[in-house]
Chain A
């Protein structure tokens, strides 16, 4: 039995904000099932009591003096945006005006 179903793929695509066409949906069911099946290898290992490696290097907190530094000028930050009004990024309506 396949561990990954179309329902799983749809659910994950929803979380990831991806829209899949029929072909991609079917392909991802197949591929994710094979790839996650391969991950079962990890269950061969007993990891009881093993501390998970959360960081690549054993570093403690990195502190710096709490002083105001230079920030990127606003116009420079806005320049890269698809749409802006000189002060803010512009996006389509967040709430449906009909419903409010």
Chain B
């Protein structure tokens, strides 16, 4: 029998509910695991040891009283550092919010607590979720458990690394242009960006409000379905959360894809895709065909314009959202300010890191008088065209299957000198955010260098059920066990 920290969330919840193991025992196993490996992985920015144990003890007491336990009974869930929690701090891996204690819990955090999850702490990210490697964190450098010289991806790099290294049962991240799916692919875990509006953004520190979604990073598709059951649904605190019924996603995992039509967008299989990654994805498609799915080539003609649209719209929204960090109501205040104007300038210039300042500059520029039509309005029009591309494609197929990332994990510093090159690592994930559709990344093999590759599946608005069904069927029949990263094997 494997150790508790290696188990899936659904196994842990089942065992805690029946009393086969106590929540305290599970929590201690994970805390010991964090002690053993996080010195190398550096996924956590803070660990809530006493709080997690107390919470686990309260869950055990509840069970002892004969009360029914929630769907995540005793399951330790790591939280990306931009999810507001009354426990600990919510620093967005930024100097700007160092030590910030939120007066309220994000809706997803409240839902996790209500489902009897245990919260072991906060995990690292690119500052304010801006980045694709977690190298933009102002706190620490998170390393990829598969190769400590490589980045974990980003911006939810701490979430992905903590799952891959068995330092939590699953984690929550946020995805604005691929920030859940890309690190999930690079760290060999499952990552879901739900449909825009599926999950309440209340208590998620905003980056780009028309693109941001919270989602789970898990060890398998069943856990992703379980997590989505808890976090999805309308919330009066977020007017953009959709009043669309949430099905039981675990019930959609039938193992059947017979008759489903899988679209292969030809624009995703160009020379930008490395041959090794292509081969992994093609093999995955063959597995789905063997299971009875039909494949059809489709076209998303504006794919090539996605990155340009994204890097206009997201910085524009970010420059407006981040204006609130002015040193008045929360977070950092520069000590030398003598006038209120100084207060804004010194606080922002010292509180925000290089990438965040770059995006504020870009966003301010594209929204400024004289450039608004040429950049921002133009981008919104092309965004409409990208969405139409997907509407047309989904008239021909039920899901789209693509690679998640053009390359596996890259080395530290490899892309930090050229922001544009870093931005292009999101080419396969950005469009789902622009079109507001759901996407999932599932591990589809290891490269010759021993690094994970990810398969992306995208579906129609609010059709996570079909997306999960295909992902689960692939996972059950892919014919290999992705195994554990060296850090997990070495320290076990």
Contact = CB atoms under 8 A, between A and B. Distances in A.
Interface string A5-40: 000110111011111100010001001101110110
Contact of B380 (A9, A13, A54, A77): A54
A53 B384 contact: yes
Contacts of B346: 19
Given A45-B382, A57-B242, A57-B436, A39 B308 contact: yes
Interface residues of B, number: 68
Nearest to B301: A45
Contacts of A100: none
Nearest to B375: A39
A52 B364 contact: no
B365 A32 contact: yes
Contact of A45 (B311, B358, B385): B385
B345 to A, nearest CB: 5
A38 B343 contact: no
A42 B309 contact: yes
Contacts of A45: 302, 305, 382, 385
A51 interface: yes
- Interface of B, secondary structure class, is helix
A32 B196 contact: no
Interface in B187-222: 196-197, 210-211
Q: What size tier do the contact residues of chain A reach? A: 35 or more
Interface string B333-351: 1000111111111101100
Contacts of A52: 377, 380-381, 383-384
Given A28-B358, A36-B365, A45-B302, A91 B343 contact: yes
Contact of A50 (B352, B357, B381): B381
Interface string A47-76: 100111111110100101000000010001
B378 A18 contact: no
Contact of A28 (B100, B361, B377): B361
Contacts of B327: 82
A9 B361 contact: yes
B358 A31 contact: yes
Contact of A94 (B242, B319, B340): B340
B450 interface: no
Given A39-B375, A77-B103, A15 B368 contact: yes
Given A32-B365, A53-B387, A62-B239, A41 B419 contact: no
Interface string A65-100: 000000010001101111100000101111010000
Given A17-B345, A72-B103, A35 B380 contact: no
B163 to A, nearest CB: 27
B197 A56 contact: yes
B420 interface: yes
Contact of A8 (B103, B242, B365): B365
A32 B362 contact: yes
Contacts of B354: 24
Contacts of B332: 82
A47 B382 contact: yes
Given A38-B308, A93-B339, A47 B381 contact: yes
Contacts of A8: 365
Given A50-B384, A52-B381, A53-B387, A18 B357 contact: yes
Contacts of B484: none
A49 to B, nearest CB: 9
B420 A35 contact: yes
18 contacts: A11-B368, A12-B361, A19-B349, A28-B361, A36-B375, A41-B304, A42-B308, A42-B379, A47-B378, A47-B381, A52-B383, A53-B384, A57-B197, A57-B242, A57-B461, A81-B329, A82-B331, A91-B328
The 9 residue pairs across chains A and B that have the minimum distance between CB atoms: A52-B380, A82-B333, A47-B381, A53-B384, A80-B330, A56-B196, A56-B436, A62-B239, A53-B383
